[in-house]
């Protein structure tokens, strides 16, 4: 959504003044699909345990406005995040209850995302680490012509990861997907989004062999060697680019940012740990970090512990444990449904990517899609169970039929 929104904002100031039009349009399409599914298959609706936990965590965050240390910051960030929580936690999970939804969703993301990656590289104007908007806009109280780079880099990372994992076998489409992945790495590097670039490398290196049956020693060696050569080539090419006056790849800049974010996180956790029993259990309230550290702390687990306490952290931990278990079950049963093998791994890859990124940027209000991926994985695991059951049923019927044929052959003989 953000990628398409930012591209349109580089073309016409109309989309700067009404930036939510694209997001609401996509949300309406998803809502329509969810309503159609419910009308047809309402009897199949259910809430996965991960889904219930995510709703409880969101509910706890909403309720914490009663005791948050920063009520104004809560109102500001919650009001802007509310439509996305409704979409990712209430509407979109209904769509993923359909067995075909994951594959259709991945294809739709590529259909929209691949052209956007090419447009961002070859059409829009770049300035520093961001793309130039059609008109100036206010960002954190200052006037700027540059679009926020992190949303753009995350979009490019999503498309790059999916392109690598589900690269088609046909030569022409394979070349298109590989070139798209290279351009996605370029966009991520150009925005100087260090965490996104690192996470892309880790996720693709881990998930590509699983998705493409390259888990044996020879396949792993070839995959690792190939990605290493590609990474070296990208590094040599991209390091010669003009990155503007601020170079976030320098050692001093990296060290300074790490120290600053760790200091904010440490301040938040000190405030939480020095509170009474209620604070220890329920935290200082969502957005409370703004009153303690002056900003969000760029670390989702630490933020949840400090702002939502041990209760919130317990729910968050349960979501992750359940998602890891579901992912392992899916991976063990991949051979039973080869037609959706790569799409299944792609969803798991996006969850891993979001997890890595959540350790260095964003806040609970900005990460509803991370919990959506966890819910989608839970639904996917249930789909995999039904597919395995169908496979065993077909095998049972085949054996029964073969046995009958042998008996007939024996009688005839």
Closest to 374 measured CA to CA, from 24, 56, 89, 130: 89
**Has residue 20 got a pLDDT over 50?**
yes
What is the SS3 assignment for 212?
coil
Give residue 277's pLDDT: 95
What is the SS3 assignment for 81?
helix
Residue whose pair of structure tokens reads 């957005």 in the numeric block? 287
What is d(CA 225, CA 219) in angstroms, rounded to the nearest whole number? Answer: 10
What is d(CA 220, CA 227) in angstroms, rounded to the nearest whole number? Answer: 11
Q: What are phi and psi of 303, to 5 degrees?
A: -65, -45
Phi-psi sector, 281: left (phi>0), alpha (psi -120 to 50), beta: alpha
Please give the angle made by the CA atoms of 160, 300 and 361, to the nearest 5 degrees: 50
Neighbours of 78 (CB within 10 A): 17
What is d(CA 226, CA 407) in angstroms, rounded to the nearest whole number? Answer: 54
Neighbours of 201 (CB within 10 A): 16
For residues 345 and 102, the answer to whether their CB atoms sit within 8 Å is no
Give residue 225's pLDDT: 64
Residues paired with 137 in a beta bridge: 144
Does residue 346 form part of some domain? yes
Q: What is the DSSP string of 311-367?
A: HHHHHHHHHHHHHHHHHHHHHHTGGG-GGGHHHHHHHHHHHHHHHHHHTTS--GGG-
User: 119 vs 254, which has greater pLDDT?
Assistant: 119
Neighbours of 85 (CB within 10 A): 20
Confidence of residue 98 (pLDDT cuts 50, 70, 90): confident
Does residue 204 form part of some domain? yes
What is d(CA 190, CA 376) in angstroms, rounded to the nearest whole number? Answer: 31
Ordered alpha helix ranges (H), 139-250: 149-165, 171-190, 194-211, 217-238
**What residues contact 154, with CB distance under 8 A and at least 6 apart?**
2, 193, 196, 357
Model confidence pLDDT, tens digit, residues 258-267: 888 888 999 9
Q: Which of 105-109, 194-198, 388-392 has the lowest mean pLDDT?
A: 388-392
Has this prediction a pTM greater than 0.85?
A: yes
Give residue 224's pLDDT: 63
What is d(CA 366, CA 182) in angstroms, rounded to the nearest whole number? Answer: 27
Give residue 217's pLDDT: 53
Closest to 77 measured CA to CA, from 91, 62, 66: 62
Model confidence pLDDT, tens digit, residues 274-291: 989 999 999 999 999 988
Q: Which of 166-180, 237-251, 259-273 has the lowest mean pLDDT?
A: 237-251
Q: What is the DSSP string of 47-79?
A: --HHHHHHHHHHHHHHHGGGT-S-HHHHHHHHH
Give residue 117's pLDDT: 93
For residues 195 and 356, the answer to whether their CB atoms sit within 8 Å is yes
Confidence of residue 36 (pLDDT cuts 50, 70, 90): very high
User: 235 vs 137, which has greater pLDDT?
Assistant: 137
Give residue 63's pLDDT: 95
Give residue 412's pLDDT: 47
**Has residue 38 got a pLDDT over 50?**
yes
**Has residue 6 got a pLDDT over 90?**
no
Mean pLDDT of 74-85: 88
What would the two tokens of residue 12 be? 């016409």
Q: What are phi and psi of 86, to 5 degrees?
A: -60, -45
User: 190 vs 59, which has greater pLDDT?
Assistant: 59
**Has residue 215 got a pLDDT over 60?**
no
Give residue 162's pLDDT: 94
Note down the domain range covering 76.
Answer: 2-240+247-408
Give residue 413's pLDDT: 44
Mean pLDDT of 159-171: 90
User: 89 vs 339, which has greater pLDDT?
Assistant: 89
Q: Count up the domains in the chain and report the number.
A: 1
**Has residue 1 got a pLDDT over 50?**
yes
Confidence of residue 390 (pLDDT cuts 50, 70, 90): low
Q: H or E stretch including 139?
A: strand 130-139
User: 411 vs 115, which has greater pLDDT?
Assistant: 115
**Has residue 370 got a pLDDT over 60?**
yes
Does residue 413 form part of some domain? no
Give residue 378's pLDDT: 95
Query: Which segment, 9-13, 25-29, 126-130, 378-382, is predicted with the most confidence on average?
Result: 378-382
pLDDT above 70 covers a percentage of the chain that reads 82
For residues 25 and 1, the answer to whether their CB atoms sit within 8 Å is no
Does residue 89 form part of some domain? yes
Q: What DSSP character marks residue 44?
A: G
């Amino acid at each position: 959504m953000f990628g398409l929104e930012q591209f349109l904002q580089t073309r016409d100031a109309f989309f700067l003044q009404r930036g939510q039009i694209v997001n609401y349009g996509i949300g309406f399409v998803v809502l329509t699909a969810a309503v159609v599914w419910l009308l047809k298959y309402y009897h199949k609706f259910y809430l996965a345990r991960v889904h219930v936990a995510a709703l409880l965590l969101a509910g706890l965050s909403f309720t914490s406005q009663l005791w948050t240390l920063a009520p104004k910051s809560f109102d500001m960030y919650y009001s802007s995040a509310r439509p996305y929580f409704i979409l990712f936690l209430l509407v979109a999970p209904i769509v993923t209850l359909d067995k075909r939804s994951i594959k259709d969703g991945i294809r739709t993301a590529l259909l929209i995302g691949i052209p956007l990656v090419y447009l961002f590289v070859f059409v829009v104007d770049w300035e520093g680490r961001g793309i130039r908007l059609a008109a100036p806009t206010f960002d954190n109280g200052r006037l700027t012509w540059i679009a926020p780079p992190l949303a753009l880099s995350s979009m490019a990372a999503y498309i790059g990861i999916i392109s690598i994992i589900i690269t088609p076998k046909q030569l022409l489409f394979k070349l298109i997907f590989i070139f798209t992945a290279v351009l996605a790495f370029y966009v991520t590097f150009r925005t100087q989004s260090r965490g996104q670039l690192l996470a892309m490398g880790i996720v693709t290196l881990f998930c590509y062999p699983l998705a493409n049956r390259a888990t044996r020693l020879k396949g792993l060696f070839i995959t690792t060697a190939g990605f290493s050569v590609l990474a070296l080539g990208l590094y040599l090419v991209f390091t010669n680019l003009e990155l503007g006056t601020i170079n976030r790849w320098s050692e001093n800049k990296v060290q300074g940012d790490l120290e600053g974010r760790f200091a904010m996180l440490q301040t938040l956790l000190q405030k939480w740990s020095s509170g009474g029993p209620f604070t220890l259990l329920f935290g200082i309230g969502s957005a409370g970090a703004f009153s303690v550290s002056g900003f969000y702390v760029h670390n989702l687990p630490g933020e949840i512990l400090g702002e939502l306490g041990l209760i919130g952290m317990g729910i968050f931990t349960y979501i992750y444990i359940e998602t890891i278990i579901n992912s392992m079950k899916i991976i063990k049963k991949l051979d039973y449904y080869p037609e959706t093998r790569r799409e299944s791994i792609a969803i798991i890859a996006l969850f891993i990517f979001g997890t890595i990124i959540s350790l260095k940027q964003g806040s609970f209000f900005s990460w509803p899609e991370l919990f959506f991926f966890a819910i989608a994985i839970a639904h996917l695991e249930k789909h995999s169970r039904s597919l395995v059951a169908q496979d065993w049923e077909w095998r049972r019927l085949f054996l029964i039929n073969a046995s009958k044929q042998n008996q007939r052959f024996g009688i005839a003989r």
